[in-house]
Amino acid sequence: MFPDPHRHSVKICGITQPQQAAEIFALGADAVGINLWPKSKRYMPLSIALSALQDVSAHHTLVAVLVNPDQTLLDATVKSGLFRALQLHGDETPLDVERLMERGAHVIKALQVRDAASLMQIGDYPCSSILLDAYNPETYGGGGHAFPWELAVRAKELYPDKQILLSGGLTPNNVRLAVQQTQSVAVDVASGVESQPGIKDLAQVARFIAEARSGWMAT
């Protein structure tokens, strides 16, 4: 399961080169996100993921990143058996999440955070895992912008039964401070460790993972 409730976790999201998945896991990542949204700069078609990542998925955690998927894509993703979690970044409703959970899917609902009022929607969703990302009306994540981390702390206080994942504007330079301040169960990064969209800089990935783990250990 991702995130593991008993262990702080790092997810590297949005690879476009399938071979990077194994390289990223070798560096110590807990999960790799595969973006199945065609409009994303980090899009990987499900057919490519199925043909190239079967061996990786047998030993590691892949997370499907979806944005308002149609029923055909959703069914194919669930039935593929490739992913251990579905991360929903669109306008999916609590009922959508509930229906996926009834199918046995582990769901992470991503929510954009603009202010404290944005946190109130967390309680509407039945899934235990909530990813907090920066508010951006023009995209559904991956924009490289941060939000005030004290709102993630507040989310934990308001919803102690939820697992709060932190995303948005994280880099190797700030992730240590981020996890020290928020004590999120996991961190999720895309643009902050890239040489270009969808192409991960493995040196930055390694540094990001090390800095995150150092931050958790220091608290």
> Residue type for 176, please?
R
The DSSP 8-state label assigned to residue 96 in this structure reads: H
Report the alpha-carbon distance of residue 37 to residue 199 in Å, rounded: 17
**Bridge-partner residues for 129, per DSSP?**
108, 163
Catalogue the E-assigned strands of the chain: 9-13, 31-35, 61-66, 85-88, 107-113, 129-134, 163-166, 186-189, 194-196, 199-200
Which residue in the list 30, 96, 133, 188 is annotated as catalytic?
A: 133
Which residue in the list 4, 13, 127, 161 is annotated as catalytic?
A: 13
User: Is 133 among the residues known to form the active site?
Assistant: yes
Per DSSP, the residues of 100-160 read: HHHTT--EEEEEEESSGGGGGGGGG---SEEEEEE--TT-SS-S-----THHHHHHHHH-T
The torsion angles phi and psi of 38, rounded to 5 degrees, stand at: -60, -25
Report the alpha-carbon distance of residue 201 to residue 134 in Å, rounded: 23
> Residue type for 9, please?
S
User: Could you give the 3-state DSSP secondary structure of residue 19?
Assistant: helix
User: Is 13 among the residues known to form the active site?
Assistant: yes
Residue 1 CB partners (closer than 8 Å, separation 6+):
84, 85, 106
Catalytic residue numbers read 13, 133
